[in-house]
C-alpha cells in the first residue's frame, strides 16, 4: 500500500509540473513548433496594416514577462516586452506566469487586436501557446517623463517616473474604492503634467493609502481611448519620501536657466492649461490659468474671464530664467485682444521682468513692469499687435518675463499671446526653444520685405559677415514673399543659417520635409554651390559652431537651372534619423571674390507622410 501511495503522489507531481498554470522550480520544455519568428514591433505593425487579424501559421515571438496577475491588479492578462517593444497578452486562463519569466509565445490561433486603443495579443492559451524558457530574467524599467506618456510613448512598457507625486486631492485616499471595479488617481510632475494611475478594486494594495510625498514610481504603461494609464505591480515600487513640489508653478524646484526662449505654443492643446517645460503657469486668483487656444491652423496662449463666474481672476505665465549676463537680450512677442470689457484704468495684460525669480519664489520675487506695445480697447478683435523690441539691458543676470492677466466675469476681455522670443538677435528669431514640433508650413507671408526673417522657433543667424536671410517680395507689390540670401554688394564674405525649430521625429509617422529653391545670377560660373541643407542631432538651439552638421542632398536649384525658376525638392524622407533633430538651410558667398549668387527658399513644409 505504501508503494502504491508513493507512486500515486509521484504521478500527481509529474502531472502538475507539466501545466503552465502551476509555479515552477524548473521551466518545462514543450514540443511546440517555432515557425516564423516575429518581434513585438512587427506584430504591432501587422495589426496597424490589417486591423484585427488571426495568425494561422506556425509563428512565435520571444519576450520577458514584465507584469503578472499575482497582485490582482490585472486579470487573465500579462504584459511582455522584448528588446524593442511591449504588448499585453489577453489569456484564456489565469495564472502560471511570473515577472521575469523568459517565454516563447506560439502565435498560431492568436488574434492581433486592441481594446480601447491598447494593442494586445488575444486568445492566448496558457497551456498550448506559452513555453517558459527561463526565470528571473527581469527587465530594467525605462526612465521616462509624464510628458513622454502624454505623447503616447512607451505603450505596454515597464517604466520609471522620477520626481513625481500624487495630486493633492487624491492623497490620503485609498488606491481603489470598493464601490467600483477600478479607480483612477492622478500622478503629476512638478510642472503639473498629470497621468492616471488605475488600480483594480481586487488589487492586493487597493485599500492602501495614496502617499502625500514626492518620489518615484515603477509601473506598466496602459492606454484607454487615447489616454495613457499606469498600472502598478507592487506598492514596493512606489517610493515617495521627499517633500512635495507645489502645483501651478512658482513654488516647486528651481528652474535651470536657458540661453534663449522661442515659444509659438505649437504643442498647446485647445482649452487646456499651458504646460511647457521650464515655464510657470500660476493661478493667483480664481480657478483659471493661461490656456492653449487653436483657431484654424493657428495655436496660441489665451487668458480670459469670459463666462468664468469669477469675481476675481489673476493668472501669470512666466518664462524660464534667461541668461542675460551681458545685458544684450531683447524680448519681442505679439499679442491680441477680443471683446474688450475692462473699464477705467484697469488693464487685462501686464508684462513684467524679474532677475530673482528661480521657479520657487513667485510670491517673494521682485517684478518690474515693462512697456511693450500692447492691444488697446479701441483695437480690432483678434488683430495681432507686435510688441516691438523690448531691451532687457536693465536686467543683467538671469531674467524671467511674466505675462500677467487680470480680469473677472464682468471685466472679461480675452488676451492672446504668441511668438514669444528672448534672445540677443533683435527681431531675428531665436531658435532652440524648449518646445518641439511635428509639422510646419512656412511661406514667409507674415514677413516684411527687405527685413531679416523672424519666425518664432526658427533661428536666423549670420556666422560670417553681417547679412542674415531676408524676406524678398517679387514682383514688387504682389505680396508674394520668400526668403533670400545673397552676397551681392555686401563687400564681405557672408555665411548665414536659417534653422528650423527642434523636430520630434519619434512623434511622427514617415517624417518628411519639402521646399522650393530658386537661384539668380550664379557667380562665379562653375563655382561651388552657395546653398546646403544640413541636419543636426546635437544642436542646442544656439551654438551652431559646436554642433555636428551632416549635409543631405535633396533636389535644389543649381547653376544649370534658369534664373528665377522655382525648383521643388520633392518629398525628402527623414526616417533614417530618429529622436530630435534640427534642419538648417545654409548660404555662403563672398563679394570680395565675386561669389555673389543670390539664393531663395520658399514653401518649407514638415509633415508625416
CATH of the domain at 156: 2.40.50.140
567, pLDDT greater than 80: yes
Whether 284 maps to a domain, the answer reads: yes
End-to-end distance of the chain based on CA atoms, in angstroms?
A: 76
**Is the same domain home to 341 and 486?**
no
Percent of the chain residues past pLDDT 90, beyond the cut: 60
Q: Which of 15-19, 77-81, 159-163, 255-259 has the highest mean pLDDT?
A: 77-81
Please tell me the predicted confidence (pLDDT) of residue 253: 64
d(CA 498, CA 462): 9
Give the domain-ending residue among 88, 117, 134. 134
Three-state DSSP at 100 gives coil
- The answer to the question of residue 251 being in a domain is no
pLDDT, greater one: 431 or 72: 72
Average pLDDT, the chain: 87
Residues 304 and 413 in one domain: yes
Q: What is the pLDDT of residue 233?
A: 97
84 in the same domain as 113: yes
Q: Among 42-51, 185-194, 525-534, 577-586, which is the least confidently predicted range? A: 185-194
Does 1 map to a domain? Answer: no
Residues 484 and 599 in one domain: yes
Question: Could you say which of 176, 207, 242 is where a domain stops?
Answer: 242
pLDDT digit string, tens, across residues 16-33: 333 444 343 344 545 789
Task: Residue count of the chain, please give it.
Answer: 609
What's the rounded mean pLDDT across residues 385-407?
92
Domain end call among 395, 423, 451: 423
Range of the domain at 181: 142-242
Question: So what's the pLDDT on residue 157?
Answer: 96
User: pLDDT for 451-479, tens place per residue?
Assistant: 888 887 788 888 999 899 999 987 766 77
Question: Can you tell me the mean pLDDT for 289-315?
Answer: 89
Q: Band of the pLDDT at 245, cuts 50, 70, 90? A: low
Same-domain status, 501 and 560: yes
Residue 434 lies in a domain: no
53-67, 153-167, 247-261: the lowest-pLDDT one? 247-261
Q: Which residue from 101, 95, 94 is spatially nearest to 132, judged by alpha carbons?
A: 101
146 and 128 in one domain? no
CATH of the domain at 601: 2.60.120.200
Interval 221-249 mean pLDDT: 82
Q: What's the whole-number mean pLDDT along residues 324-342?
A: 92
pLDDT confidence tier of residue 435, bands split at 50, 70 and 90: low
Arithmetic mean of pLDDT, 491-513: 94
How many structural domains does the chain have? Answer: 4
**Percent above pLDDT 70 for the chain:** 91
Residue 397 lies in a domain: yes
Please list the residues that pair with 232 across neighbouring strands: 219
Q: Are residues 460 and 408 in the same domain?
A: no
What pLDDT, on a 0 to 100 scale, did the predictor assign at position 139?
A: 94
Neighbour tally for 207: CB within 10 Å: 12
270 shares a domain with 397: yes
Global confidence as pTM:
0.43
Name which residue leads in pLDDT, 63 or 392. Answer: 63
Question: What's the Rg (C-alpha) of the chain?
Answer: 30
39: buried, middle or exposed (CB in 10 Å: 19+, 13-18, 0-12)? middle
Distance CA 609, CA 603 (A): 17
What is the four-CA torsion angle of 475, 476, 481, 482, rounded to 10 degrees? 70
What pLDDT shows up at residue 347? 92
pLDDT in tens, 569-589: 999 999 999 999 999 999 999
E strands, 486-593, are 493-499, 503-504, 511-520, 531-536, 550-552, 567-568, 572-573, 580-590
Q: What is the pLDDT of residue 27?
A: 45
**598 confidence band (pLDDT: 50, 70, 90):** very high
Q: Does residue 429 fall inside a structural domain? A: no
CA distance linking residue 324 with residue 507, whole number of Å: 33
Upper half-sphere CA count for residue 283 (Cβ side, 13 Å): 17
Range name among 285-289, 390-394, 545-549, 592-596 with the lowest pLDDT average: 285-289
Are residues 465 and 577 both part of a single domain? Answer: yes
As a whole number, mean pLDDT of residues 301-310 equals 92
Residue 327: other Cβ atoms inside 10 A: 14
* Count of beta carbons in the 10 Å neighbourhood of residue 110: 24
Which one is predicted more confidently, 5 or 177?
177
- Are residues 446 and 417 part of one domain? no
Question: In this structure, is residue 49 part of a structural domain?
Answer: yes
Among 212-216, 558-562, 598-602, the least confident range? 212-216
* More confident position, 54 or 364: 54
Do 565 and 503 lie in a common domain? yes
What pLDDT digit, counting tens, does each position of 248-279 carry? 444 456 888 988 898 989 888 888 999 888 89
Give a yes or no: residue 445 inside a domain.
Answer: yes
At 90-107, the pLDDT tens digits run 999 988 899 999 999 999
Instruction: Give 13's pLDDT tier (boundaries 50, 70, 90).
Output: very low
Residues 6+ apart with CB under 8 A from 81: 40, 63, 64, 66, 87, 139, 156, 157, 158
State whether 146 and 130 are in the same domain: no
Cβ-count burial of 601 within 10 angstroms (0-12 exposed, 13-18 middle, 19+ buried)? buried
Question: What is residue 345's predicted lDDT score, i.e. its pLDDT?
Answer: 82
Mean pLDDT of 71-87: 95
Are 113 and 127 spatial neighbours (Cβ–Cβ below 8 Å)?
no
Q: Are strands 511-520 and 572-573 parallel, antiparallel or unpaired?
A: antiparallel
Amino acid at each position: 500500500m505504501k508503494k502504491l501511495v508513493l507512486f500515486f503522489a509521484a504521478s500527481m507531481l509529474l502531472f502538475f509540473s507539466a501545466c503552465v498554470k502551476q509555479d515552477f522550480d524548473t521551466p518545462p520544455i514543450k514540443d511546440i513548433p517555432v515557425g516564423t519568428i516575429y518581434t513585438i514591433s512587427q506584430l504591432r505593425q501587422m495589426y496597424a496594416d490589417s486591423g484585427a487579424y488571426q495568425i494561422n501559421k506556425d509563428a512565435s515571438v520571444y519576450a520577458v514577462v514584465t507584469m503578472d496577475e499575482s497582485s490582482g491588479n490585472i486579470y487573465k492578462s500579462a504584459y511582455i516586452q522584448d528588446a524593442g517593444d511591449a504588448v499585453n497578452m489577453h489569456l484564456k486562463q489565469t495564472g502560471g506566469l511570473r515577472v521575469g519569466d523568459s517565454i516563447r509565445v506560439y502565435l498560431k490561433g492568436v488574434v492581433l487586436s486592441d481594446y480601447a486603443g491598447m494593442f494586445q495579443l488575444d486568445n492566448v492559451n496558457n497551456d498550448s501557446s506559452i513555453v517558459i524558457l527561463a526565470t528571473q530574467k527581469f527587465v530594467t524599467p525605462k526612465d521616462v517623463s509624464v510628458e513622454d506618456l502624454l505623447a503616447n510613448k512607451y505603450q505596454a512598457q515597464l517604466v520609471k517616473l522620477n520626481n513625481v507625486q500624487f495630486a493633492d486631492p487624491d492623497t490620503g485616499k485609498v488606491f481603489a474604492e470598493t464601490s467600483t471595479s477600478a479607480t483612477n488617481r492622478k500622478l503629476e510632475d512638478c510642472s503639473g503634467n498629470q497621468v492616471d494611475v488605475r488600480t483594480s478594486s481586487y488589487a492586493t494594495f487597493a485599500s492602501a493609502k495614496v502617499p502625500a510625498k514626492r518620489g518615484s514610481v515603477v509601473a506598466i504603461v496602459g492606454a484607454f481611448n487615447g489616454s495613457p494609464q499606469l498600472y502598478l505591480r507592487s506598492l514596493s515600487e512606489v517610493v515617495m519620501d521627499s517633500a512635495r513640489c507645489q502645483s501651478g508653478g512658482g513654488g516647486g524646484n528651481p528652474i535651470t536657466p536657458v540661453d534663449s526662449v522661442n515659444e509659438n505654443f505649437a504643442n498647446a492643446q485647445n482649452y487646456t492649461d499651458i504646460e511647457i517645460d521650464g515655464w510657470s503657469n500660476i493661478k493667483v486668483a480664481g480657478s483659471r490659468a493661461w490656456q492653449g487656444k487653436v483657431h484654424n491652423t493657428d495655436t496660441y496662449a489665451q487668458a480670459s474671464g469670459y463666462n468664468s463666474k469669477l469675481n476675481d481672476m489673476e493668472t501669470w505665465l512666466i518664462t524660464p530664467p534667461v541668461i542675460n549676463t551681458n545685458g544684450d537680450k531683447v524680448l519681442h512677442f505679439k499679442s491680441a485682444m477680443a471683446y474688450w470689457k475692462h473699464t477705467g484704468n484697469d488693464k487685462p495684460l501686464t508684462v513684467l521682468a524679474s532677475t530673482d525669480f528661480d521657479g520657487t519664489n513667485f510670491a517673494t520675487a521682485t517684478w518690474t513692469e515693462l512697456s511693450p506695445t500692447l492691444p488697446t480697447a479701441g483695437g480690432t478683435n483678434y488683430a495681432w499687435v507686435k510688441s516691438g523690441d523690448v531691451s532687457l539691458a536693465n536686467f543683467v543676470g538671469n531674467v524671467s518675463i511674466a505675462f500677467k492677466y487680470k480680469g473677472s466675469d464682468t471685466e472679461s476681455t480675452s488676451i492672446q499671446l504668441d511668438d514669444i522670443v528672448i534672445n540677443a538677435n533683435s527681431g531675428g528669431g531665436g531658435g532652440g526653444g524648449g518646445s518641439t514640433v511635428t509639422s510646419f508650413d512656412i511661406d514667409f507671408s507674415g514677413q516684411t520685405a527687405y527685413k531679416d526673417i523672424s519666425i518664432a522657433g526658427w533661428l536666423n543667424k549670420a556666422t560670417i559677415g553681417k547679412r542674415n536671410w531676408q524676406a524678398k517680395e517679387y514682383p514688387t507689390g504682389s505680396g508674394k514673399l520668400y526668403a533670400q540670401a545673397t552676397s551681392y554688394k555686401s563687400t564681405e564674405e557672408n555665411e548665414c543659417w536659417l534653422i528650423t525649430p527642434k523636430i520630434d521625429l519619434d512623434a511622427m509617422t514617415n517624417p518628411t520635409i519639402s521646399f522650393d529653391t530658386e537661384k539668380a545670377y550664379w557667380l562665379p560660373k562653375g563655382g561651388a554651390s552657395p546653398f546646403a541643407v544640413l541636419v543636426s542631432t546635437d544642436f542646442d538651439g544656439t551654438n551652431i559652431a559646436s554642433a555636428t552638421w551632416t549635409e543631405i542632398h535633396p533636389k535644389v536649384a543649381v547653376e544649370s537651372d534658369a534664373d528665377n525658376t522655382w525648383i521643388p525638392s520633392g518629398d525628402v524622407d527623414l526616417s533614417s534619423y530618429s529622436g530630435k533633430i534640427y534642419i538648417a538651410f545654409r548660404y555662403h558667398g563672398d563679394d570680395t571674390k565675386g561669389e555673389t549668387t543670390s539664393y531663395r527658399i520658399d514653401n518649407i513644409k514638415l509633415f508625416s507622410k
